[in-house]
């Protein structure tokens, strides 16, 4: 498992597949997952693309330092690490694709380093939600983001494999589509990477840095149209994601200058895991 050069003293673990010199692709995982979320997508793309799949800061095999989340685990910090990984590998013109946390990091990378990117393929969360996130039904789903701000989250979950298993199983079961069930092997792997002391705490550094959908949506302001993110983006919007109803796609164009929203039926929040062929096909199209 190679490691990137350190940025802010954080190194990213990553996998790389496919022929050198092929169109570059970077796949970014979400919470509560790691780079193995993208294994099936990478398998679809590896024959024709140079595919890089990192663990984000605080996840999987990447560094998990106990640092101020606002400076070291927010979207800007995560994007710095991904940008440095691309530069270190000599890659530019990449399609960056992500879901959940990975989607937000991809969006920040497109805003900060558009010179490195050819396109985005992302799933919700995307901008434009606004204060709708405070409605009664959404707030029933987003309770965990407030919980992650509490010391109680560390006390009840961190370092306890049994608690980690129960906590992660809830999200993988509740957020997925009706035809998906997380397998024991998959859950065993995630418990293995999330249950060492400090690992769960590092993974929620993203939320403690204000990266969650609630904090982001309440603070977002549509930019001047001339200042919208210019990197071409395709948003894959799943049918059964309880966090992000499809009607929330109506304002994406206020933030992304060149965006296409494509509905993905039959799946939930974990689009790369539940529908890897659909996700990979969108990435391949963006890389043409």
Annotation says 189 is catalytic:
no
User: DSSP characters for 35-103?
Assistant: GGGGHHHHHHHTTTSEEEEEPPTTSTTS------HHHHTSHHHHHHHHHHHHHHTT--SEEEEE-THHH
User: What does the block give as tokens for 58?
Assistant: 């605080």
From 100, 158, 194, 241, the catalytic residue: 100
40 in a structural domain: yes
24 in a structural domain: yes
At 3-46, the pLDDT tens digits run: 999 999 999 999 999 998 999 999 999 999 999 999 999 999 99
Q: Which residue spans within 147-252 are E strands per DSSP?
A: 233-238
CA-to-CA distance for 287 and 24, rounded, in angstroms? 8
What is the extent of the structural domain holding 118? 14-286
What does the pLDDT read at residue 217? 86
- What percentage of the chain carries pLDDT values higher than 90? 93
At 249-287, the pLDDT tens digits run: 999 999 999 999 999 999 999 999 999 999 999 999 999
**Residues in a beta bridge with 24:** 50
What does the pLDDT read at residue 6? 95
Select the more confidently predicted residue: 171 or 211: 171
Annotation says 207 is catalytic:
yes
Residue found under tokens 């070291």: 72
At 39-73, the pLDDT tens digits run: 999 999 999 999 999 999 999 999 999 999 999 99
5 in a structural domain: no
At 158-192, the pLDDT tens digits run: 999 999 999 999 999 999 999 999 999 999 999 99
pLDDT band at 218 (very low <50, low <70, confident <90, very high): confident
208 in a structural domain: yes
CA-to-CA distance for 83 and 160, rounded, in angstroms? 33
At 116-148, the pLDDT tens digits run: 999 999 999 999 999 899 888 888 999 999 999
Instruction: Provide the CATH number for the domain around residue 123.
Output: 3.40.50.1820
156 in a structural domain: yes
At 90-123, the pLDDT tens digits run: 999 999 999 999 999 999 999 999 999 999 999 9
- Using a 10 angstrom Cβ sphere, with 0-12 exposed, 13-18 middle and 19 or more buried, the burial of residue 145 is buried
1 in a structural domain: no
> Taking 90 as the threshold, does the pLDDT of residue 236 lie above it?
yes
Annotation says 167 is catalytic:
no
CA-to-CA distance for 139 and 214, rounded, in angstroms? 9
3 in a structural domain: no
From 29, 49, 148, 269, the catalytic residue: 269
Average pLDDT over residues 204-231: 92
> Taking 90 as the threshold, does the pLDDT of residue 245 lie above it?
yes
Instruction: Record the pTM.
Output: 0.97
CA-to-CA distance for 178 and 49, rounded, in angstroms? 31
9 in a structural domain: no
From 74, 148, 207, 241, the catalytic residue: 207
Domain count, the chain: 1
pLDDT band at 156 (very low <50, low <70, confident <90, very high): very high
């Amino acid at each position: 498992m190679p490691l990137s050069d350190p940025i802010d003293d954080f190194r990213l673990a990553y996998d790389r597949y496919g022929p050198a010199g092929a169109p570059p692709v970077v796949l970014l995982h979400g919470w509560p997952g790691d780079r193995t979320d993208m294994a099936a997508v990478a398998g679809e793309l590896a024959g024709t693309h140079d595919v890089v799949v990192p663990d984000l800061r605080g996840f999987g095999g990447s560094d998990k330092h106990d640092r101020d989340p606002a400076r070291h685990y927010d979207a800007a910090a995560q994007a710095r690490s991904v940008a440095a990984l691309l530069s270190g590998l000599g890659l530019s013109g990449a399609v960056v694709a992500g879901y959940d946390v990975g989607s937000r990091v991809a969006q920040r990378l497109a805003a900060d380093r558009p010179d490195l990117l050819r396109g985005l393929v992302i799933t919700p969360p995307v901008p434009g939600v606004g204060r709708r996130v405070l409605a009664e039904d959404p707030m029933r789903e987003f309770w965990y983001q407030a919980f992650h701000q509490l010391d109680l989250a560390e006390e009840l979950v961190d370092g306890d494999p049994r608690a980690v298993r129960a906590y992660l199983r809830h999200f993988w079961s509740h957020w997925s589509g009706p035809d998906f069930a997380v397998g024991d092997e998959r859950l065993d792997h995630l418990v293995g990477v999330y249950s060492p002391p400090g690992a769960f705490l590092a993974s929620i550094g993203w939320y403690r840095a204000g990266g969650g959908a609630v904090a982001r949506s309440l603070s977002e302001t549509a930019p001047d149209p001339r200042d919208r993110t210019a990197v071409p983006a395709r948003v894959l919007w799943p049918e059964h994601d309880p966090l992000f109803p499809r009607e929330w796609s109506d304002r994406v164009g206020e933030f992304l200058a060149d965006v296409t929203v494509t509905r993905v039926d039959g799946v939930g929040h974990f689009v790369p895991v539940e529908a890897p062929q659909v996700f990979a096909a969108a990435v391949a199209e963006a890389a043409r």
